[in-house]
Amino acid sequence: MRKSFPAAALTVITMVVGAASATAQSPAVNAARIEAAVKSSWPQAPTDWKERLVQDETMAACSQYKNSPPRTVADAIVAREKAAIKYPADGKLMGDWKKGEKLAQSGYGRRFTDYPPRTENGGNCYACHQLAKAELSFGTLGPSLLEYGKIRKFAEADVKAVYERIYNPHAAVPCADMPRLGAGGHLSIEQIKDLVAYVMSPDSPVNK
Ligand code: HEC
């Protein structure tokens, strides 16, 4: 009895160490189970929305690593998503901030009650960000964007960064919590320009 105790303890330690190294080597999650769970999450999805239940390469990689991909995977995501950004043909990144304000306040689009689409999709920015001072109701998942343009002296480089962030946040933050509003086909280039103006224009209430 006295002899077998340490032996048993050693076996337990070996098993624990073995399990830990197996976790480090094998994938963090079961990709096939995730794929199946996503696909079965909305059986009544309209046919032309079914493609939304298929993860693309970036989504699959983010699922695989629970949104904390190793460096090489993170770099690949940034490179791929950067390459997917489309810019306005006229080169102007800012549109009409008044239209942008309405889009920032609108959460319309792609919810199950929004089918078939009856109006343009919104940006839903206030669900996650504070923007204009007068708006008291906003989510806090994302950082406050109050005076975002003013703080950055309305610099052109920041105008471009905001355009890119709205178009495809994974190009800046791999496995971002912010949706790919442009790359995902939720907002048009014109709408994104209006939203950029809302965040970056000196005339916008965001910067007053
Ligand atoms: C579902 C939540 C969500 C929505 C909706 C959302 N964002 Fe974000 N946003 C985030 C989060 C979270 C971050 C911080 C980085 C990250 O994890 O993606 C962020 C970062 C940003 C940044 C960079 C801030 C910085 O640190 O410099 C800007 C600019 C921005 N968002 C603008 C917008 C605009 C404009 C809209 C609407 C078109 C919007 N976001 C919609 C969650 C969201």
| CATH class as words, domain 97-207 | mainly alpha
Question: Which atom of ligand 1 lies at the shortest distance from residue 139's CA?
Answer: 2
Give the pLDDT band of residue 62 (cuts 50, 70, 90): very high
Distance (Å) from CA 141 to ligand 1 centroid: 8
**Ligand 1 pocket residues where CB is under 6 Å:** 104, 123-125, 127-129, 141-143, 145, 162, 165-166, 169, 173, 176-179, 181, 195, 199
| pLDDT, tens digit, 9 for 90 and up, residues 6-19 | 544 544 444 444 44
Q: Are 170 and 163 in contact (CB under 8 A)?
A: no
Domain boundaries, the chain: 4-83, 97-207
- Per residue in 94-131, pLDDT (tens digit) is 999 999 999 999 999 999 999 999 999 999 999 999 99
pTM across the whole model:
0.88
Taking 50 as the threshold, does the pLDDT of residue 91 lie above it?
yes
